[in-house]
Amino acid sequence: MTSIEEIKQELARSHDEYRGLLRRHHDHERRLAELASKAYLSTDEEYEEKRLKKEKLNLKDRMEEIVREHRARVSSAP
């Protein structure tokens, strides 16, 4: 049986949408880390932080959906 981590690694190599989502998720993580390192956030930066957190969660949800779809296909294959 294939582990979830193995599936994610396979999808990162072979699934264009998953790979793009993963890249955007990492980009959001980097930017959020930059914002977190600041002592003070401007109003625009606070808005950006909230937006990025929401988008990052949506990206993660879609990636998990792709993983579930992949697992269902693999487990139903003859």
- As a whole number, mean pLDDT of residues 65-73 equals 94
> What residues contact residue 63 under an 8 Å CB cut-off, 6+ apart?
8, 18, 21, 22, 25
pLDDT band at 1 (very low <50, low <70, confident <90, very high): very low
pTM (predicted TM-score):
0.88
Using one digit for the tens of pLDDT, what is the confidence trace for 4-23?
999 999 999 999 999 999 99
Average model confidence (pLDDT) across the chain: 94
Judged against a pLDDT cut of 60, whether residue 75 lies above it is answered with: yes
> What residues contact residue 56 under an 8 Å CB cut-off, 6+ apart?
25, 28, 29, 32
